[in-house]
Amino acid sequence: MQNLSELLYSPYFGVIATIFAYQAGVSIQKKVKHPLANPILIAVLIICTLLVIMDIPLEAYQEGGNLIYLFLAPATAALAVPIYKNWQILRLNWKPIIAGTMAGSFSSIVIVFALCKLFKLEESLTLSLLSKSVTTPIAVGITEQLGGIVPIAIAAVIFSGITGNIMAPFLVKVFRVEDPVAQGIGIGTASHAIGTTRAITMGELQGAMSGLAIGLSGLWTVFWTFLFSVWIG
């Protein structure tokens, strides 16, 4: 029992459990091929089920979880890669790309804030939801800086991504968005990497623009949330 306790409280348990849970999520997604079968969501459900069934303390899992958390910073920096790879496209279409990501990130924050005030949510919840449309590493950093609740922010990011993945083709048809650059920028700005997987199926240019929008909208969201925090602070 002592050896088992030492194993559970070692960083190896959290790291190995997370890797296997995520890999299981990827395998399920490939078989099911449905937006709701998101690897991150599946991994979260597997980890939670494992901890509850085996009565493992959250602190034990966090020993390894905190180790994985260290990779968020380099993961955020890696978002510069798609910007670099698509530099020529960005240079040729810089006005609509910059304007689209700027307006999209700003409207997302304003709408979330307005709805939170309308439904009289607590300030901590409001701060946790502001970064819902950016990729997880950036959302975690923003939420921590604002004093929000990180798990709620991550859940909001996953929900936004899945919603965008499902609704993107329908919304493109309803609003008659025919330009592939506009389609990609809209999807990437609103639903980050999960939405980008849908944009890729719509066309190569849409996928490239959506990937580009992930990094740019993240930068804009950091900027807008900074101004927001100054305004409410």
CA gap 51, 61 in Å, rounded:
8
20, HSE (Cβ side, Cα atoms, 13 Å): 9
pLDDT at 106: 94
Structure token pair of residue 135: 């990729």
Please name the helix (run of DSSP H) or strand (run of DSSP E) that holds residue 219, with its range, or none.
Answer: helix 204-232
pLDDT in tens, the chain (233 residues): 556 666 666 778 888 888 999 899 889 988 987 767 878 778 889 999 988 988 888 888 887 777 887 776 676 677 677 777 778 877 888 888 899 999 999 999 999 999 998 999 998 899 999 989 888 888 988 998 888 998 899 889 988 988 888 888 889 999 999 888 899 999 999 988 888 878 888 887 888 888 888 888 988 999 998 887 777 66
| pLDDT reported for residue 233 | 60
Q: What is the model's pLDDT at position 21?
A: 92
- CA 99 and chain centroid, separation: 21
- Predicted pLDDT at 225: 87
Please say whether the beta carbons of 217 and 79 come within 8 A.
Answer: no
Among 209, 218, 216, 110, which residue's Cα sits nearest to residue 168? Answer: 209
C-alpha 164/C-alpha 31 separation (Å) is 21
pLDDT of residue 220: 93
DSSP assignment of 69-133 equals HTTHHHHHHTTHHHHHHTHHHHHHTHHHHHHHHHHHHHHHHHHHHHHHHHTT--HHHHHHHTTTT
pLDDT value at position 203?
Answer: 85
pTM for the full model? 0.75
